[in-house]
A and B are shown apart, each in its own frame.
Chain A
Amino acid sequence: MTAINPQPAVSLPRGRPKSKILRRVRESCIMAGLIGCGVFSIATTLTIIVILSVEALRFFRLDEVSFWGFISGTKWSPLLGAEKHFGVWPLICGTLLVTAVAMAVALPLGLITAIWLSEYAKPKVRAVIKPVLEVLAGIPTVVFGFFALTVITPGLRWLHEGFGVYNAASAGLAVAVMCLPIVTSLAEDALRAVPRSLREGAFGLGATRFEVAVKVVTPAALSGIVAAFLLAIARAVGETMIVALAAGASPSLTLDPRSEVQPMTGYMVQIFLGDASNYGAEYYSSYAVAATLFLMTLLLTLIGHRVRVRYRQVYE
């Protein structure tokens, strides 16, 4: 085949060369657009902080509330009764209870599955488990809420009569299922990033697979695993639809997972669904609750970032 290609490989520019000034103007316009994109992300964060703090301040200036009462009070009854109480602890307690139940299940289960996937499982088995986890990760949270309400709650009530129609345990288990793929995939990434040489060294010293996985690889990947745990906790704290459907709507200061609780996100949904007038104390209280929630997740994200940066071991 020696046919000569009539077209040159590189298409040469034809006609008048493009003006350099025009190109420079165009490029600076595009560059300005790109910088605008970056500014937008910072503006989003700033707007969140400004809105939450301004509206929360407006809430604290109202006659029936005080800042001290908000952060130390143990009674939250904004909608019922003649005297309204705005003590945030029952809501925080609800959030923590649901998160604790979820993490007690999701963290060990997720870590064990991750260790198994990265250290033990054969490629064929991985090819089954990974899609299962991806499908679980893609399921909308409202579906998990429905699952909690129609499967987990009846199941728990069948096991033990003390569980209410709405209870923290059911919501917590559904949140656990939601967090499981996050923990597993992030922890597995951290474990797989540990270099082979560490494993081979341990095997060479006569360690069993269990000892390699648990005593060598897991400690080496600890910073990544802790970061994965913190991210899962942040997701569980901010989870809304599951708790709105399955945890109930009566804020109470309790540590009993069988009882009905109202986490912070559940309260916000209740307020914005129209149980309150648009300008009353209970409406602005949702902003104060949102600010509390935002602070909690911000703290978790920042700690996670710090752990990842500070304690990451870089292997050459």
Chain B
Amino acid sequence: MNELASHPPSARSGRFLKDHLFVAVCLLAAGLCIAVLGVLLASIITQGIEHLDTHLLMNPPSRKPEKAGIYPAMIGTIYICLVCAVSAIPLGVGTAILLEEFKPRQKTLARLHGFVQLNITNLAGVPSVVYGILGMTAFVEVFKVMGSPGDPVWTLGTPENWYYLQLPFGRGVLAGGLTLMLVVLPIIIISSQEALRAVPNSLRQGALALGATRLQMVWGTTLPAAVPGIMTGTILAMSRAIGEAAPILIIAGVVYITFTPEHLMDDFTAMPLQIYDWASRPQESFHQVAASGIMVLMAILLTFNAAAVMIRQKFQR
């Protein structure tokens, strides 16, 4: 300790005072973040704990709050998220591979590559409600060129088969899942690109030097090395899909459904929709049911996030 530091002149002490003040402000800001999360969780738990039981999990919604359940919404969420995952993961990883592993050198192609990249940044910023409108027009009505959902121009199977298909799709599971796919696709593409970018170039050069074609290099070397990163990004994207309400609201609407969907064209409801329905009612008791529903939803999301964190920890080098 030297003399100067312990008895600083006033100009210096003013500057250090500023530093200390700033630390206090920072602590306040960070504390506020934690406090907000705490209040949010506490308010939901205190409101929702009463209705959280197996009755809620195993029963359909009801006009009486004490009998209301979330079972059809849970099954609906699982179905649309399956459709979303099956369609979004191959498309997203494929686009990421195209953008990261096949960067063209030729000038016009390189410009096109940059355009696709900018386009994806752009798609990531489009509000999800706009995707809902896109899904409504492109999937539910198929641009109104194929007749109406009530009177389809083409069908495959009958409503008894799970794979029952019709054109246009109508407000069914398939339309909902594909719309969610549009929402999460940019997220999957961007995170997969980051995972591929993190693979060291020496691996690629090694594969090419052994005589692999570019596709063999991607399939045998780059992709396996990037799988943990891609999985983490995909799981986070799927947790976004589970909680997304706005596009599904446009596709499915808030409907009173007490059964689980039986085929791809069947009407459905999803957990965020059911929660929105309960929360938008004026009765206090329905708010409590909404809080219980939120607890179930958050439990599922936290499981997903924990899985993503575990994969990241395990494979981090």
Contacts and interface: CB of A to CB of B under 8 A. Distances in A.
Pairing of A with B: yes
Interface of A: 23, 27, 30-31, 33-38, 40-42, 44-45, 47-48, 51-52, 55, 109, 112-113, 115-117, 120-121, 125, 128-129, 132-136, 138-143, 145-147, 149-151, 177, 180, 184, 208-211, 213-214, 231, 234-235, 237-241, 244-245, 265, 268-269, 272-274, 286-287, 290, 293-294, 297-298, 300-302, 304-305
User: Taking each of B25, B97, B245, which has the highest tally of chain A beta carbons within 10 Å of its own beta carbon?
Assistant: B245
Chain A interface SS verdict (over half):
helix
B126 to A, nearest CB: 6
Contacts of A231: 125
B297 A140 contact: yes
Nearest to A119: B26
A241 B276 contact: yes
B45 interface: no
A117 to B, nearest CB: 8
Interface residues of B, number: 79
A234 B126 CA distance: 8
A272 B254 CA distance: 10
A41 B95 contact: yes
Contact of A112 (B29, B116, B290, B302): B29
Contacts of A293: 127, 129-130
B162 to A, nearest CB: 26
B116 A268 contact: no
Given A41-B123, A113-B33, 10 more contacts: A23-B213, A48-B134, A138-B302, A147-B43, A149-B279, A150-B279, A151-B39, A210-B22, A240-B128, A302-B122
Nearest to B127: A238
A150 B125 contact: no
Interface in B176-235: 182, 185-186, 189, 213, 215
Interface string B15-35: 110110011011101101110
24 contacts: A34-B97, A37-B94, A38-B99, A38-B116, A41-B185, A42-B115, A113-B30, A113-B33, A132-B33, A140-B244, A141-B243, A143-B243, A143-B297, A147-B43, A184-B33, A210-B15, A210-B19, A210-B22, A237-B127, A238-B127, A241-B276, A268-B133, A269-B129, A269-B250
Rank and list the top 3 A-B pairs by shortest CB-CB distance, nearest first: A238-B127, A140-B243, A116-B26
A237 B127 CA distance: 8
B252 to A, nearest CB: 10
A133 B130 contact: no
B272 interface: yes
B36 interface: yes
Contacts of A109: 29, 32-33
Chain B interface SS verdict (over half):
helix
A115 B254 CA distance: 43
A38 B95 contact: yes
B47 A294 contact: no
Nearest to B36: A177
Given A41-B189, A140-B243, A113 B26 contact: yes
Contacts of B62: none
User: Taking each of B23, B246, B287, B301, which has the highest tally of chain A beta carbons within 10 Å of its own beta carbon?
Assistant: B246
A294 B37 contact: no
B276 A234 contact: no
B130 A47 contact: no
User: Taking each of B18, B39, B125, which has the highest tally of chain A beta carbons within 10 Å of its own beta carbon?
Assistant: B125
B22 A34 contact: no
B133 A208 contact: no
A93 B32 CA distance: 29
Contacts of B213: 23, 27
Contacts of B22: 210, 213-214
A142 B43 contact: no
B155 interface: no
Interface in B101-149: 102, 115-116, 118-123, 125-130, 132-134, 136-138
Nearest to B136: A272
Nearest to A141: B245
A133 to B, nearest CB: 7
A150 B47 contact: yes
B33 A129 contact: yes
B1 interface: no
A35 B122 contact: no
A149 B43 CA distance: 12
B129 A265 contact: yes
B159 interface: no
B275 interface: yes
Contacts of B301: 138-140
A260 B98 CA distance: 48
B127 A297 contact: yes
B26 A120 contact: yes
Interface in B37-61: 37, 39-40, 43-44, 47
A132 B30 CA distance: 10
A115 B137 contact: no
B133 A286 contact: yes
Nearest to B43: A151
